[in-house]
A and B are shown apart, each in its own frame.
Chain A
Amino acid sequence: MRARAGEAVVFGMIVAGLLGILGGLVLSVGALGTPERVTLEVLAQLATVLIVLFTLLAIVVLTLVWLERKQLARMQSRVGPTRVGPFGLLQPVADALKLIMKEDVAPGTSSKLLFFVAPLLVFVPGFVVWLTIPFARDVVVRSLDMGLFFFIAISVLSIVGLVLAGWSSGSKYAVLGGIRAAAQLISYEIPIIMTVLTVAMLADSMSFVVVVEAQRTVPYIVLQPLGFVVFFLAGLAEVGRTPFDVYSAESEIVGGPFVEYSGAHWAIFFLAEYVNTFVIGAVAALLFLGGWSWPFGDLPAAAGVALFLGKTYLVVMAIFWVRATYPRLRIDQLMSLGWKVLIPLSFAVVVATAVQLFYDWPRWTLPAMSLAVLAVPVVMQLRGGRRRALAEARRYAERAVVVEAKPRPQRPQEPLEPQEAGA
């Protein structure tokens, strides 16, 4: 009984929180201004904005799904989806329809309320961050002065959803997945925060728009390559993609927190995964690749959006590329990579940037320091496991037992008899 009451309270808090985030944001949507009173008209406008946004989001996700399937297929010498629509473009739509029409099953041991609200909790943060991402200088739903901060603050929320999904499923695999998700996502949040902080220091602002404007001549990937590498790796872990898909590991814990979900609720998780992937790609493009700007002067808004999307998809495709290449890390290796490599590196990034800014050293010293630090793990890696393994492989050749072919005895030429049918 008490458990049920507790569940209800948690549920209420979650719903209230979600509504608060969404409502607060949407009410302050830039295009609408801040209305004096909430009238029906305002609500209708809100609904329109939400619907438009959601449609855009759906389109982005569907193209991402298609892109991933096609790209993976090409990398694996397949053709990918070809049947539904031209080039299989409508395949994700068909998949989505199928998922929505499927029966929504909840396990008998699950806590139903939390079980069904958990997918939303994973999806909404991605959706909300999406509201603040500028596609070009003026193409943005709500440009926040604290955009970077907002991105970090909101994107962490999805951890709660994953843990909740794992716990409420009433399945051991899901619980393991939920716990893994908590450990992994919290650990990898730190490098992300640190690298974002570096960018904020460089641009002297936490607004996405200002950050992009500051990269008009030199994108930050040139100034701070190590920062980009750390951000990219931590971002991979943050959206749970190979080689960091430890919490949903298909071949170990069968999808982790998602194992018991089916139909529309599973589709929401799926949607969330792609939204988050897109958000990480977009943020990487904004923070390190210069967003909609390029060094050769101003661009019209449409071209800016195209450029930004191009850069975003470049990052996203790199994420897919990694997926086609690498196996999955083990949980302890994942944690030690996070805590022993990425977090120290991200601190190094912050310190290097601070030193350069404080002493006003010439700008080229920053990439120099960055690359010097980056060289350390690279060299360690090259001298470490891989070299040992290569040496080991050479020893195989020495150890192999060679079996010489004996000469075949010359047999007298037998007359070829016509073959009889077998016995």
Chain B
Amino acid sequence: MVRAMAETPETPPETPDAEQPKADAAPARRGPPIEVAEEVLDERGEETAALLKRVVATYVLDSGGRGDIPWVRVAPENLVESARRCRDDGQLGMDLLHCLLAVDYVERIELDYILFSLKGDRKAILKVDLPPEEPAIETVGGLWEAANWYERETHDLFGVVFTGNPDLSPLLLYEGFEGHPGLKSFPLHDYEEW
């Protein structure tokens, strides 16, 4: 039972080391101003980015990248189709779902599908933004078998529901664990189990 969660579902916990400042605005912070890294693609990355934009085409909402890994943001409903195109395109050929992860930006949950092409040695990231309340997206399990466990893990830790995934039972957590520990709103220390 996660008591802290049950009692204060909305407000972030009041522990000193919780990530309060990050969620809120910068003014509370002290210290040097926050720098923003330049997003610069190298030659290889530009090439992949061009291919990626051609393949995903109209679905692209936003794009960027760093080093040799470009990224494009697509709408949740277009994700599976974009991923399929990335995988099946002759030149891009993203045959390996290297990683699937979620980042909790509090106002949104971002899913990153990190795709690799083993033959062409290309890397790319597909990004999707989901609403923090009841995040749900279609599974990519039909494209890569590897997706199943990543999705279960993301479901465990972030509560993202992957529709179409045959088995979303807890993978890393135990049966009956309440809450989603990956979220920023989940306290690091002050919750009780058992």
Contact between A and B in the complex (any CB pair below 8 Å): no
